[in-house]
């Protein structure tokens, strides 16, 4: 016990003297940063796609420097946001410097349906970070200790990455969170709901358009590829995870993303190059070209998402949506899960910026058809643990067979302080008893609200959040209500 206490005090001392650290990519979870980036997109300061997270700081910095070099005039109300994010991009991309930092958090009943916001996962967490960013090599190491972790892993390296750049491409060993899609309260295919999957990744550093006349029409584009390793404690131990996403902006007002993921390989399953080739070619349906239950390559999901923005009375209003197929038919995704939303943003005379959104997610197969297909989303006959990593859904945090509405707002002051509010209501697990379900083993109605505040101070960043949730079990009518809250400190 004495040794453990000694180690904790050493870590605390290191955190207390820490400085801001640099990193090549902005990780998902920072709602204020995402809001600011989207403001700059909607007002023309950023030309590249921004719905694939992590986002390379170099891609944003290239756009910012173009604004400066060409003396492009932005609206006065956008300048505080531009200057704040430009300064952060310069800070995050400093080469040749070693930096370190850390933080602490304490939570009561951590939220079990995670949106984009990076709320604490466990009741108690302490983490420390060290990074070094060079011209071609980046090292970003995060280590954390948790209290009574839900998955039994007390010590973690989530949020770490070692990367090497070759030209405009980055190759990395990574445990960073990922978020693919325009949704604010979830992504149907890959979100930060589950802990990050340890992966080998490939991505672009800058998102400039093709010069080729046949491809230049797609505009600025981004690409992300990952080869991940899932945990051992599952129905197919040590299954592997493959993901690929391309997103692009053919118009200033339109961003489109195409995503594909697969669970494959694992103990007792085929893992050869031929298996992976069949998976890429979509030859993974039983009775399709000789495919049987014994040699089926894997469990795939794929689909498309889009975000379109228009100015109404000088205010950006956006429509967005995501369709992800749980199955394949005729070489294309089928049995779609769906998500749709509308969002708007603005900037007040007092230089406060704000954003609101209303979003709906349906995680049942064929959710836009009649009849819909229950018991299908995020489930598969061979990979029986489902589309899960460390006990949580890799896609939308609602798990399967949900129909939930979300409404949220974020306000960012000129100093970068943040207020957030998020409300949800709808139905979870509408099909029946499912012991693999990550949020509702039996059908339930839920209503919840969460409020969060982030404030800068001379000694670091403080975050505090609180929420209230009510659930009703449909079979019995029994009601339950729970409160939750957290406080976090992150070093500047």
- Going along the chain from its start, the domains and CATH numbers come out as 2-490 (2.40.160.130)
pLDDT mean over 206-217:
91
Angle between helices 57-69 and 79-92 (to 10 degrees): 130
Nearest to 41 by CA among 308, 417, 358: 308
CA dihedral angle for residue 249, residue 192, residue 158, residue 144, rounded to 10 degrees: 130
Copy the structure tokens of residue 81. Answer: 């946001």
Q: How far is CA 303 from CA 180, 259, 314, 324, 343, in A?
A: 11, 6, 32, 4, 22
Contact 446, 425 (CB under 8 A): yes
Long-range residue pairs from 207-214, CB within 8 A, at least 24 positions apart, any chain: 207/48, 207/49, 207/56, 207/59, 208/48, 208/62
Contact present, 371 and 383 (Cβ < 8 Å): no
Quick one: pLDDT at residue 245?
98
Mean pLDDT in residue range 227-253: 94
CA-based diameter of the chain, in Å? 67
Band of pLDDT at residue 147, cut at 50, 70 and 90: confident
Question: What pLDDT, on a 0 to 100 scale, did the predictor assign at position 343?
Answer: 97
Q: What is the pLDDT of residue 289?
A: 63
* Neighbour count for residue 274 (Cβ, 10 Å): 11
Confidence of residue 286 (pLDDT cuts 50, 70, 90): low
pLDDT of amino acid 19: 39
Identify the CA nearest to 250 among candidates 211, 278, 212, 216: 216
Helix (H/G/I), strand (E/B), else coil: 217: helix
pLDDT at 482 over 90: yes
- The more confidently predicted of residues 405 and 13 is 405
In the chain, % of residues over pLDDT 90: 65
Work out the pLDDT band at 12, boundaries 50, 70, 90: very low
What confidence score (pLDDT) does residue 13 get? 37
């Amino acid at each position: 016990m004495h040794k453990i206490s000694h180690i904790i005090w050493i870590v605390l001392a290191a955190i207390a003297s820490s400085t801001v650290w640099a990193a090549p990519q902005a990780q998902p979870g920072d709602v204020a940063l995402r809001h600011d980036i989207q403001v700059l997109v909607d007002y023309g300061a950023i030309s590249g796609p921004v719905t694939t997270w992590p986002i390379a700081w170099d891609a944003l910095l290239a756009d910012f420097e173009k604004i400066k070099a060409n003396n492009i005039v932005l609206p006065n109300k956008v300048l505080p946001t531009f200057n704040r994010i430009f300064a952060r991009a310069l800070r995050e991309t400093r080469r040749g410097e070693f930096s370190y930092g850390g933080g602490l958090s304490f939570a009561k009943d951590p939220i079990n349906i995670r949106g984009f916001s990076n709320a604490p996962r466990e009741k108690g967490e302490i983490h420390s970070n060290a990074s070094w960013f060079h011209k071609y090599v980046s090292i970003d190491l995060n280590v954390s200790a948790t209290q009574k972790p839900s998955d039994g892993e007390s010590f973690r390296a989530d949020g770490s990455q070692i990367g090497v750049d070759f030209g405009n491409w980055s190759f990395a060993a990574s445990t960073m969170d990922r978020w693919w899609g325009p949704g604010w309260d979830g992504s149907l295919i890959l979100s930060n709901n589950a802990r990050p999957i340890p992966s080998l990744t490939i991505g672009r550093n800058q998102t400039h358009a093709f010069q080729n006349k046949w491809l230049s029409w797609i505009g600025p584009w981004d690409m992300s590829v990952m080869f991940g390793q899932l945990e051992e404690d599952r129905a197919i131990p040590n299954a592997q995870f493959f993901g690929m996403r391309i997103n692009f902006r053919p118009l200033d007002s339109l961003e489109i993303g195409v995503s594909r993921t697969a669970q494959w390989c694992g103990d007792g399953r085929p893992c050869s190059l031929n298996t992976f080739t069949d998976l890429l070619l979509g030859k993974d349906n039983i009775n399709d070209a000789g495919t049987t239950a014994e040699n089926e390559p894997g469990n795939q999901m794929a689909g498309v998402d889009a975000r379109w923005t228009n100015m109404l009375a000088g205010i950006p209003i956006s429509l967005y949506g995501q369709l992800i197929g749980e199955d394949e038919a005729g070489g294309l995704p089928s049995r779609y899960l769906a998500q749709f939303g509308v969002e708007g943003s603005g900037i007040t005379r007092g230089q406060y910026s704000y954003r609101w959104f209303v979003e709906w997610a349906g995680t049942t197969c064929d959710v836009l058809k009649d009849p819909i297909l229950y018991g299908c989303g995020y489930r598969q006959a061979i990979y029986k643990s489902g589309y899960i990593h460390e006990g949580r859904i890799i896609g939308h945090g609602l798990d399967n067979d949900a129909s939930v509405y979300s409404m949220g707002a974020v306000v960012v002051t000129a100093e970068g302080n943040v207020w957030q509010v998020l409300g949800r209501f709808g139905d979870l697990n509408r099909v029946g008893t499912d012991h693999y379900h990550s949020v509702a083993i039996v059908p339930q109605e839920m209503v919840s609200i969460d409020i969060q505040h982030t404030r800068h101070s001379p000694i670091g960043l403080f975050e505090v959040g609180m929420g209230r949730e009510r659930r009703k079990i449909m079979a019995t009518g029994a009601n339950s209500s729970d409160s939750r809250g957290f406080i976090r400190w992150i070093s500047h």
